[in-house]
């Protein structure tokens, strides 16, 4: 089975890219974040024609939202609000193979890494704390947690560890909160299980860069974690960096993992 997570930054703007991604990878399950559409605007028919008859989504008009697309039959197991907000940041499904897939879009946190003056940053920390408590309570033996977690935890997950220590997404307080969620949930970072922590690896490059490829000032904000069989059967992991250079690209690149039967 092949699974991809991708922050598309508007699903309707990225339909051509999604079609290309599916054609080039033959992916079985795609988890999207920042779809920016509710059920009245989500392109169900187009996505079914691309090859995904099974679709579950949580979205609000023009903002946030997550969707899980699958060739494999699945059932919705959880769709909950986090931090008391109805903002479409999570959906859980269970594939008929028994694997649970938890699709997250963690708040970005604004620009100022100080929860006392920045309510968006406080929301992000609260969200990560709630993820940790939720993960600790989960009983699924075989599961993946995927999505735009908006934290680059490792030194080689950013273009410059020193330069970004005081920049939202790589500050020690965010890294600690994300690592707590990973530890309490007993999750394994599947991408770093296959790609050494010594290797610089990014999944996001800012639109503000005139030449993102040349500058390569990226961050690894998009993650795939696993439990049980998702760890035991993992065979490959990669970031599809070239998608960042496609026509009308998202600022995030898809992240992909393969599992053996």
- Domain ranges in the chain are 2-259
Instruction: Identify the pLDDT of residue 62.
Output: 78
pLDDT digits (tens, 9 = 90+) for 50-76: 999 999 999 988 789 999 999 999 999
Q: How far apart are CA 200 and CA 94, in angstroms?
A: 33
| CA-wise closest residue to 168 among 117, 222, 121, 220 | 121
Residue 210: pLDDT over 90 = no
CATH value of 2-259 in 3.40.50.720, 3.10.20.30, 1.10.3720.10, 3.60.10.10: 3.60.10.10
pLDDT at 256 over 80: yes
pLDDT value for 215: 95
Give the mean pLDDT of 18-22: 98
What is the rounded CA–CA span in Å between residue 110 and residue 121? 6
91 in helix, strand or coil?
strand
Is residue 216 a contact partner of residue 209, using CB atoms and an 8 Å limit? no
190 three-state secondary structure: helix
Q: Looking at the predicted structure, is the pLDDT value of residue 81 above 90?
A: no
Query: Given pLDDT bands bounded at 50, 70 and 90, which one contains residue 247?
Result: very high
What is the pTM assigned to this prediction?
Answer: 0.97
pLDDT > 90? residue 25: yes
């Amino acid at each position: 089975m092949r699974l991809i997570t991708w922050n598309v930054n508007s699903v309707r703007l990225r339909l051509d890219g999604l079609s290309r991604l599916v054609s080039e990878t033959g992916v079985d399950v795609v988890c999207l974040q920042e779809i920016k559409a509710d059920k009245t605007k989500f392109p169900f028919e187009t996505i079914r024609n691309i090859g995904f008859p099974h679709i579950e989504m949580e979205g609000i008009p023009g903002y946030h939202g997550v969707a899980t697309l699958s060739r494999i039959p699945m059932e919705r197991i959880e769709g909950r609000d986090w931090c008391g907000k109805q903002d479409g940041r999570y959906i859980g499904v269970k594939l008929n193979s028994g694997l649970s897939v938890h699709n997250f879009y963690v708040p970005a946190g604004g620009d100022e890494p100080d929860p006392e003056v920045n309510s968006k940053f406080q929301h992000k920390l609260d969200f990560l704390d709630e993820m940790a408590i939720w993960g600790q309570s989960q009983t699924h033996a075989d599961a993946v947690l995927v999505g735009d977690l908006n934290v680059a935890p490792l030194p080689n997950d950013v273009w410059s560890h020193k330069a970004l220590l005081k920049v939202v997404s790589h500050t020690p307080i965010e890294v600690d909160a994300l690592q707590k969620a990973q530890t309490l949930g007993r999750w394994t970072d599947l991408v770093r299980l296959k790609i050494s922590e010594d290797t610089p690896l990014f999944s996001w490059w800012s639109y503000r860069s005139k030449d993102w490829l040349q500058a390569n000032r990226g961050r690894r904000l998009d993650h795939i974690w696993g439990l049980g069989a998702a760890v035991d059967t993992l065979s490959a992991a990669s970031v599809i960096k070239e998608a960042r250079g496609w026509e009308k690209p998202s600022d995030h690149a898809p992240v992909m993992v393969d599992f053996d039967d």
